[in-house]
């Protein structure tokens, strides 16, 4: 499971010209799921996401997590995080799990983040053609892969 996390001042998802969800200050999280992902990946990534100290403290040092700043979280499914560009110029998505696996895993990840955060998480709509808008604050962008726990 892969997360692309962006610290934002605001983010929104629009579907068919209508705002589906939006957040203010917080984290915009794109999540990619592969077939081998398990509940262990969800648990580990939920903890990493919510404890990631990428918000400034009073001294301007990135020392606070999203909960400490009262931030919001948006989670959007994005299979293209598993793109392989090793061969040719057209990305291959063979590592991305199909909907039968990825939809329930995405829903479990959202529920896990909500439970740990103690509040509702904004989402996209699985499988929809979404327009995602955000203002990346910093910019701060972090990539985390549960298969490569650095």
Q: State pLDDT tens for residues 112-133.
A: 999 999 999 999 999 899 999 9
- Distance in angstroms (rounded) separating the CA atoms of residues 27 and 136: 9
Q: At 59, is the pLDDT very low, low, confident or very high (cuts 50, 70, 90)?
A: very high
How far is it, in rounded angstroms, from Cα 45 to Cα 40?
9
Q: Which of 6, 79, 109, 123 is catalytic?
A: 79
Q: Is 55 a catalytic residue?
A: no
Among candidate residues 9, 38, 68, 80, the one labeled active-site is 80
Half-sphere exposure in the Cβ direction for 103 (13 Å, CA): 7
Q: Average per-residue pLDDT in the chain?
A: 94
Query: Does 67 participate in catalysis according to the annotation?
Result: no
Q: In terms of Cα–Cα distance, which of 87, 108, 89 is closest to 31?
A: 108
Do the beta carbons of residue 73 and residue 123 sit within 8 Å?
Answer: no
**Averaged pLDDT for residues 33-43:** 95
> In the chain, what is the straight-line distance between the N-terminal and C-terminal CA atoms, in Å?
14
Which listed residue (6, 46, 55, 78) is catalytic? 78
Is there a catalytic annotation at residue 80? yes
pLDDT digits (tens, 9 = 90+) for 93-108: 878 888 899 999 999 9
């Amino acid at each position: 499971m892969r997360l692309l996390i962006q610290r934002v001042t605001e983010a929104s998802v629009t579907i068919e010209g209508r705002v589906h969800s939006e957040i203010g200050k917080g984290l915009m999280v794109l999540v990619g799921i592969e077939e081998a992902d398990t509940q262990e990946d969800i648990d580990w990534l939920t903890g990493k996401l919510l404890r990631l100290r990428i918000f400034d403290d009073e001294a301007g040092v990135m020392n606070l997590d999203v909960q400490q700043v009262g931030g919001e979280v948006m989670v959007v499914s994005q299979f293209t995080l598993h793109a392989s560009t090793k061969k040719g110029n057209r990305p291959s998505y063979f590592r991305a799990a199909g909907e039968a696996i990825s939809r329930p895993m995405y829903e479990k990840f959202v529920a896990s983040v909500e439970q740990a955060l103690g509040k509702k998480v904004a989402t996209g709509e699985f499988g929809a053609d979404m327009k995602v808008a955000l203002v990346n604050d910093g910019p701060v962008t972090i990539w985390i892969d549960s298969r490569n726990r650095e």
